[in-house]
């Protein structure tokens, strides 16, 4: 991993850093699923997808991370992928966040579907300490860790069918709402 990625991750707890490093490695291994020109942005986005936990603003880490990375000069594609990772719009709705907050990070490119697919798969098959998990185990772990009434667990339940599908394979295409 590039030193500057490692530097950005130091703001996070050890477990979360391990999750991101492992997910980023998986995305690098599956990067042939996207066109060559998208691979660096894909790996950057997956390695940094939870960085928003270290830079809270709205208190919603996908959008907080995208805003932070945009300020650092990461590409609109990286910010878009981070903002939308793992069905984040459903959790945004559950949290009562106005979905207009996604507008600054929307790039409106249909060809990003395969990159979303790799990203969601890498996140959903990597556990909270960076361990390999099936998506089914990952969703069970989220439910157990957060408790059934927590907004994160509630959102994962609501998104269950798309998350289960996304976690089966890095090969695919996921279209996000904006
Ligand atoms: Fe994650």
Q: How far is the CA of 20 from the centre of ligand 1 (A)?
A: 7
Q: How far is the CA of 124 from the centre of ligand 1 (A)?
A: 7
Q: How far is the CA of 110 from the centre of ligand 1 (A)?
A: 23
pLDDT at 160: 98
**Banded pLDDT at 1 (limits 50, 70, 90):** confident
Q: How far is the CA of 127 from the centre of ligand 1 (A)?
A: 8
pLDDT at 110: 87
Task: Give the count of beta carbons closer than 10 Å to the beta carbon of residue 178.
Answer: 14
How deeply is 20 buried, as exposed, middle or buried, from its count of CB atoms within 10 A (0-12, 13-18, 19+)?
A: buried
Q: Mean pLDDT for the chain?
A: 97
Q: How far is the CA of 111 from the centre of ligand 1 (A)?
A: 22
Q: How far is the CA of 82 from the centre of ligand 1 (A)?
A: 10
Distance CA 122, CA 132 (A): 10
Say whether pLDDT at 155 is over 80. Answer: yes
Q: How far is the CA of 19 from the centre of ligand 1 (A)?
A: 7
List, for residues 66-86, the tens digit of each pLDDT value.
Answer: 999 999 999 999 999 999 999
Average confidence (pLDDT) over 103-112 = 94
DSSP string, 13-67: -HHHHHHHHHHHHHHHHTGGGS-GGGHHHHHHHHHTTTGGGGS-SSS-HHHHHHH
Alpha-carbon separation of residue 39 from 58, 59, 71, 99, 126 (angstroms): 29, 29, 21, 28, 19
Q: How far is the CA of 70 from the centre of ligand 1 (A)?
A: 19
DSSP string, 68-92: HHHHHT--HHHHHHHHTTTTHHHHH
């Amino acid at each position: 991993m590039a030193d500057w990625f490692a530097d950005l991750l130091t703001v996070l707890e050890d477990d979360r850093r391990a999750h991101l490093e492992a997910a980023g490695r998986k995305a690098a291994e599956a990067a042939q699923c996207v066109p060559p020109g998208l691979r660096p942005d894909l790996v950057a986005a997956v390695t940094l997808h939870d960085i928003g936990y270290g830079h809270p603003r709205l208190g919603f880490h996908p959008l907080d991370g995208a805003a932070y990375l945009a300020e650092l000069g990461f590409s609109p594609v990286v910010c878009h992928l981070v903002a939308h990772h793992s069905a984040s719009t459903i959790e945004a709705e559950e949290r009562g966040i106005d979905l207009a907050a996604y507008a600054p990070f929307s790039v409106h490119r249909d060809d990003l579907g395969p990159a979303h697919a790799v990203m969601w798969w890498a996140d959903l098959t990597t556990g909270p300490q960076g361990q390999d998990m099936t998506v089914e185990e990952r969703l069970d772990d989220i439910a157990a860790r957060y408790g059934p009434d927590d907004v994160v667990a509630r959102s994962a339940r609501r998104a269950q069918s798309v998350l289960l599908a996304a976690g089966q394979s890095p090969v695919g295409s996921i279209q996000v709402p904006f």
